[in-house]
Amino acid sequence: MKTIHLYRSLGVVAVGMMSMLATSCEEDIDNTASRNQSEIELAPSGEYIKLDESKPNETAVTLKWSAAHDFGEDYITTYKYEMQLIGSEATNIKEFDDDGEFFRSYTNEEMQKILVDHFGLTTSTIGEVLFTVTANFEGPRLMVPDIATATLKIKTYGPKQYKADNLYVGGSAVGEDNIKLTLKDEINKIYSYEGALAAGKINFPVDYADELNAIGPETADAPITTGEMTGVISDRAEANSWVIPSAATYRITVNMSKRTVKIVEAGAVVEAEQMFLAGTAVGEEQIEIAQTLENDQLYAWRGELKAGSLYIPLTFEGEQSMAIVPEVADNHDIEDGQLATFGQALISKVDRQYWTIPADGTYRIVLNKEEKTIAIYSAATDLKPLTVSFNNTTLGINPWKQDVNVLHMYGGFNGFAYDAGTDEETGKPLKYCQVKYDLIQSLANPKVFVYKGDVLPRTEKADDYGKKNAGWVNFCTLRYANNGWFVGSTADAERGKRNGYKEVEAGKIEGAVVGQSHNRYAYFLIPEGCNYVVVDIENNTVLFDIK
């Protein structure tokens, strides 16, 4: 058998192979002669190889293969050698070779560069590498190629990956036996644990492939905080620890995607995605307490309750294990209308910690998650809307009294667009104010009104004096003309002489002027992109923002 030396001459080989293939395709494939002549054997130096950063020039991987079957002098045999990282989108490494030795070797550094730089394998990661040797025969008849393969698991060195097959809570705060954390969110790799810890040290042992790692703080013996703390992954024997200050029940969250750790004493902060009312005062079905539009930390509800027990379960990571309850066990007084500090307890303990609703009726509940306060109002102590008095010249009622339960946007911000239909009070067509831009009364404070929705239009419109501005707006209690009670800006305005316009900055609280005077002609200029407005008629302020 003749052999041809095509050592790493990819261009020449490619052309030659195409020529051979074109010639050979005209001939019959002799499967009978070739299928039983598979003689190549590919022998790697091991099935699992861990690259050693400390020995860059030391040989890490060797591959040897035997010669293919000899079909005689009429055949030329060529060998193709390939390396492929399974799962990588990078091109395979290909070489054509016949140096008579049938051998490849790589140092630790060479293989590291191939896997990381070429194939894109991350550091400190095991990759499956497929090696293939293919012998092709060119002669009177087309012979089926002889192929041998070997798959090796090779682990790169370098910075550790933030990955875990299993994650545990460990340290003196736990005791001799580590506690396995529960994987709550497989996509984001979020693990959690809730239970008793002793005063002492804590970190998080990690099993990953053949590594024994642990997640700990950047510095040794770091105190815990109530926020998310950066976690560093390192060899288990070298990992630092956080310090648990006192024995208590703690809630732990390890976010492998964000590389953060949160260790919070149950009751220290409120962690909740949803809040509900429960107990005999509510009935069999829990009632959700809504987050207010004006404050992410504020939750409020108003409705009917029965005489009976009340507690507030918290849903966190899809489970209800904790509840908001009175701060002091066995103290069930709602402290009607008073602001009080609340506590937290396991739902299994609410048989001792709950509020007693004294009688059937309408109640308002306002809860501040950040400040850990709650106020429960009965009908006798409930917060009341602002009652205003003004001259309603459209209806000819002077003075007109009105509870402010809604505010309308009024002005040239939308070109004075209006809804179709008839006003219930006047019997006349609606004018000027569209319902889609109404501000909704807050359940937490009936003197606060909020708009959160589409970006507000900033139509350029000339006023009665020919002055043009984009997006001018104020707020009123009636939907027709300008006969109502208004919340206007502090801009200089005078009825019959001039309008006033106040430029505002998104996110900055502005002062307001209320009533039925020149303030009716004093406008705010809406900032670009604004989709959020809060009007506080208790403190006479207005906020325009982007949310």
Q: What DSSP string runs through 478-522?
A: -SSTT-S-EEE-SS--BTTTB-EEEE--TT-EEE-EEESSGGGGE
Q: What is the model's pLDDT at position 34?
A: 47
Sheet with 103-107, side-by-side order of all strands = 42-44, 59-65, 103-107
Cβ–Cβ under 8 Å, residues 520 and 495:
yes
Closest CA relative to residue 256, chosen from 365, 370, 389, 166: 166
DSSP tag of 269: B
Cβ–Cβ under 8 Å, residues 277 and 306:
no
Residue linked to tokens 């059937």: 360
Residue linked to tokens 């590498």: 129
How far, in Å, CA of 84 to CA of 77, rounded? 23
Which pTM value belongs to this model? 0.59
How far, in Å, CA of 30 to CA of 62, rounded? 34
Instruction: Return the HEC string of 512-541.
Output: CEEECCHHHHEEEECCCCCCEEEEECCCCE
* Bridge partners, residue 235, by sequence: 213
Q: Which amino acid is at 22?
A: A
Which CATH architecture is the domain 166-265 placed in?
Sandwich (2.60)
pLDDT digits (tens, 9 = 90+) for 240-258: 999 999 998 898 989 998 9
DSSP tag of 453: S
Q: What is the model's pLDDT at position 96?
A: 85
How far, in Å, CA of 189 to CA of 258, rounded? 9
Provide the CATH number for the domain formed by 35-156 in this structure. 2.60.40.3640
Residue linked to tokens 């402290």: 335
Query: Judging by beta carbons within 10 Å of its beta carbon (0-12, 13-18, 19+), is residue 19 exposed, middle or buried?
Result: exposed
Q: What is the model's pLDDT at position 48?
A: 93
Give the pair of three-digit tokens for residue 237. 């024997």
CATH class of 274-377: mainly beta
Phi–psi pair at 10, nearest 5 degrees: -60, -40
pLDDT under 70 in the chain at which residues? 1-37, 98-100, 267-269, 481
* Bridge partners, residue 452, by sequence: 532
**Which whole-number Å values give the CA distances from 152 to 47, 50, 63, 148, in the listed order?**
5, 11, 11, 14
3-state secondary structure of 96: strand
Q: Which amino acid is at 231?
A: G
pLDDT digits (tens, 9 = 90+) for 484-543: 999 999 999 999 999 999 999 999 999 999 999 999 999 999 999 999 999 999 999 999
Q: Fold match between 166-265 and 274-377?
A: yes
Residue linked to tokens 């801009």: 491
Cβ–Cβ under 8 Å, residues 153 and 125:
no
How far, in Å, CA of 294 to CA of 443, rounded? 10
| Boundaries of every domain in the chain | 35-156, 166-265, 274-377, 387-545
How far, in Å, CA of 252 to CA of 171, rounded? 14
Q: What is the model's pLDDT at position 479?
A: 86
How far, in Å, CA of 530 to CA of 547, rounded? 8
How far, in whole angstroms, is CA 248 from its chain's centroid?
A: 29
How far, in Å, CA of 534 to CA of 437, rounded? 12
> Read out DSSP for 407-451?
EEEESGGGTT---SSB-TTT-SB--S--GGGPEEEPSS-TTEEEE
Cβ–Cβ under 8 Å, residues 314 and 320:
yes
Determine if residue 131 is left, alpha or beta; phi over 0 gives left, psi from -120 to 50 gives alpha, anything else beta: beta
Give the pair of three-digit tokens for residue 460. 């350029």
Q: What angle do CA 427, 429, 433 make, to 5 degrees?
A: 115
